[in-house]
Amino acid sequence: ESTSISFDPANTIADVNPLIYGGFTEFVSNDIGRHMGRCIYGGLYEPDNKELSDENGFRRDVISYFKELQVPVVRYPGGNFCASYRWQDGIGPKENRPKRPELAWEGVEPNTFGTDEFMEWCKVVGTEPYLCLNMGTGTLEDALAWVEYCNGDKDTHYANLRRQNGHEKPYNVKYWALGNEMWGPWQVEQHTKEDYAKKAIQWARGIDVSTALKLLDPSITLILCGKDGYSDWDRYTLQQCLRWVDMHSIHYYSMGKGHYKNISSVYAAERAIQVCSSLIDLARCEFDLSPFPDIERIITKPNSAKRPTICFDEWNVWDPERAPGNKGGEEQYTLSDGLAVAIWLNIFVRNCKDIGMATIAQSVNVIAPLMTTPRGVWKQTTYFPLLLFSKYMHGKAVSVHTRTGTYQGETFPRWVETTVSVPKLDVSATIDSDGWMNVAIVNSDEEKGYTTKLNGICPGSEVQVFTVGGEAFKSADTNSENEEKVNIRESVWNATDASYRFERLSFTLLRWKA
């Protein structure tokens, strides 16, 4: 079967927003209740581990891997957690901070890691904070107070409280989410779409103009709480709120029993982005509801000049059955999952014109690329594609035409279609500002490698090759603390005949000066 990948570096799609390589850290710490595992407490924050943590209690080894991944933005404090989070419990002297019952995961929140600790951690890591507001039990007053605490530069109460706590300069937090999964029956204070849209408008802009987030700080980016991108919730909330917000958040976790279902389920994300993009366009149209609508008017008069981007702020492979009981969400990933994550990232690059940000859920221990033990950190299979993408897949996405065989794969059951046509080779490409061409290729075939013609590469180019998986790994091995089987292999390929063999079950990144 002959396969080819064709591209022209001059044929670009749009800029790849570096924020697509973001992370997410949620509270939820102890072993009471149906906890999710150790993301913050016992993950990135472990003050009792004197050997591995710094004077702030931050795990130094975790920080070094966040730096290696160059994580550009980190979402916090939830997730479901934020629907009952009282941010004011987590500031000031630690001995005065109350412990609270944690309702999302039925644990106890000690509040020893709060806003100032998170801001300091972001500074050390070199990443941007992205805060999710409590729209469950929280009020607009709490939200305004949090924005003022973080960003206020005047002589006002919460800005002064921050100064009193030792932080003179405002943190200037840019990204703020209007709640998390507000539609979910598991949410503390689940909302209908109508209730949520009304509340989001009031919070974003304000009916009483003196009390709105954007009036307090017009520079902030507000992120609307969507669903999975293809629901009536997404349609309605976008139509109601579009003009007041800057991004629309969607969530989706892929999963499927067996390798091919694991891979094919990822493609629901690509459809979700495409459908959501259309819902954004639809929401920008001003509809004439008369019986004979004036088509010209619908097309030429958008009700907002603004076009929000999609913020895919929870995405990953997640099969809760693989980490049952008291392990919470601490899944161990296989090579198949690593390849699925590479396809996820290809999807973000291919659809970069619509994606303003994406944050993998989550970053440490809980369905995460990094796992901690009291002795150190080990990397999951999903770490390696993330690293290669965040290092190299920048600049402008390049349009790619791939000729490969396909197979019919099952999509995730929530999606309206039951099958999807899955390419044997999944590809995305970028050209960066220094003129380096980067092509990311996933061969998810369990049986076969493909010798593939690359149309668009100058014969004789010296190509850097990075490979994850492939023949060096006979089975879809799980990494573990003691045995990190999956890693990145580096080599150089002289592209004399412009044909490259992509091994079975591999992720390959090729780069050369175009």
- Residue 36 and residue 28 in contact, taking contact as beta carbons nearer than 8 Å: yes
Q: Shortest gap between Cβ of 122 and ligand AHR (angstroms)?
A: 19
Q: Rule CB under 6 A: is residue 42 a binding residue for ligand AHR?
A: no
Q: Rule CB under 6 A: is residue 23 a binding residue for ligand AHR?
A: no
Q: Rule CB under 6 A: is residue 380 a binding residue for ligand AHR?
A: no
- Residue 310 and residue 334 in contact, taking contact as beta carbons nearer than 8 Å: no
Q: Rule CB under 6 A: is residue 79 a binding residue for ligand AHR?
A: yes
SS3 state at 252: strand
Q: Shortest gap between Cβ of 28 and ligand AHR (angstroms)?
A: 8
Q: Shortest gap between Cβ of 314 and ligand AHR (angstroms)?
A: 5
In the DSSP assignment, the letter for residue 115 is H
From the list 186, 147, 337, 188, the residue with the least C-alpha distance to 256 is: 337
- Taking the least distance from each CB to ligand AHR, the nearer of 78 and 110 is 78
Active-site residue flag, 314 = yes
- Residue 283 and residue 305 in contact, taking contact as beta carbons nearer than 8 Å: no
Among 78, 129, 206, 470, binds ligand AHR (CB under 6 A): 78
- Taking the least distance from each CB to ligand AHR, the nearer of 62 and 420 is 62
Q: Shortest gap between Cβ of 367 and ligand AHR (angstroms)?
A: 6
Among 117, 181, 331, 354, binds ligand AHR (CB under 6 A): 181
Q: Shortest gap between Cβ of 225 and ligand AHR (angstroms)?
A: 10
Q: Rule CB under 6 A: is residue 361 a binding residue for ligand AHR?
A: yes
What is the separation of C-alpha 335 from the centre of its chain, rounded to a whole number of angstroms? Answer: 20
Q: How far from 130 is each of 22, 91, 143, 189, 251, CA to CA, in Å?
A: 10, 18, 14, 22, 16
Q: Which of 109, 314, 331, 410 is catalytic?
A: 314
Among 12, 25, 53, 80, binds ligand AHR (CB under 6 A): 80
Separation between Cα atoms, residue 492 and residue 452, nearest integer Å? 17
- Taking the least distance from each CB to ligand AHR, the nearer of 152 and 226 is 226
Among 180, 262, 372, 508, binds ligand AHR (CB under 6 A): 180
Binding segment for ligand AHR (CB under 6 A), chosen from 74-82, 95-103, 139-147, 380-388, is 74-82
Q: Shortest gap between Cβ of 80 and ligand AHR (angstroms)?
A: 4
- Taking the least distance from each CB to ligand AHR, the nearer of 166 and 185 is 185
- Taking the least distance from each CB to ligand AHR, the nearer of 37 and 206 is 37
Binding segment for ligand AHR (CB under 6 A), chosen from 76-84, 191-199, 211-219, 319-327, is 76-84
Alpha-carbon dihedral sign for residues 289, 224, 175, 21: negative
SS3 state at 407: strand
Among 5, 26, 44, 149, binds ligand AHR (CB under 6 A): 26
- Taking the least distance from each CB to ligand AHR, the nearer of 178 and 398 is 178
Q: Rule CB under 6 A: is residue 72 a binding residue for ligand AHR?
A: no
Q: How many C-beta atoms surround the C-beta of residue 31 within 10 A? A: 12
- Residue 443 and residue 1 in contact, taking contact as beta carbons nearer than 8 Å: no
Ramachandran region, residue 15 (left: φ > 0; alpha: ψ -120 to 50; beta: rest):
beta
Separation between Cα atoms, residue 99 and residue 111, nearest integer Å? 6
Q: Rule CB under 6 A: is residue 363 a binding residue for ligand AHR?
A: no
Instruction: Give the side-chain half-sphere CA count within 13 A for 190.
Output: 8
Separation between Cα atoms, residue 348 and residue 466, nearest integer Å? 20
- Taking the least distance from each CB to ligand AHR, the nearer of 79 and 107 is 79
Q: Shortest gap between Cβ of 332 and ligand AHR (angstroms)?
A: 17
Q: How many C-beta atoms surround the C-beta of residue 396 within 10 A? A: 18
Binding segment for ligand AHR (CB under 6 A), chosen from 75-83, 92-100, 369-377, 503-511, is 75-83
Q: Shortest gap between Cβ of 188 and ligand AHR (angstroms)?
A: 12
Q: Rule CB under 6 A: is residue 331 a binding residue for ligand AHR?
A: no
SS3 state at 501: strand
Q: How many C-beta atoms surround the C-beta of residue 214 within 10 A? A: 19
User: What is the footprint of ligand AHR within residues 290-329 (CB under 6 A)?
Assistant: 314
Binding segment for ligand AHR (CB under 6 A), chosen from 2-10, 73-81, 270-278, 500-508, is 73-81
Q: What is the largest CA-CA distance in the chain?
A: 73
Alpha-carbon dihedral sign for residues 408, 411, 413, 415: negative
Q: Which of 26, 109, 181, 270 is catalytic?
A: 181
Among 231, 351, 362, 438, binds ligand AHR (CB under 6 A): 362
How many residues bind ligand AHR, per CB under 6 A?
Answer: 9
- Residue 478 and residue 334 in contact, taking contact as beta carbons nearer than 8 Å: yes
In the DSSP assignment, the letter for residue 285 is B
Q: Rule CB under 6 A: is residue 84 a binding residue for ligand AHR?
A: no
Active-site residue flag, 330 = no
Counts of helices then strands in the chain (DSSP H, E): 12, 23
In DSSP terms, which residues pair with 440 in a beta bridge? 428, 509
Separation between Cα atoms, residue 188 and residue 88, nearest integer Å? 19
Catalytic residues, which ones? Answer: 181, 314
Residues that bind ligand AHR (CB under 6 A): 26, 78-80, 180-181, 314, 361-362
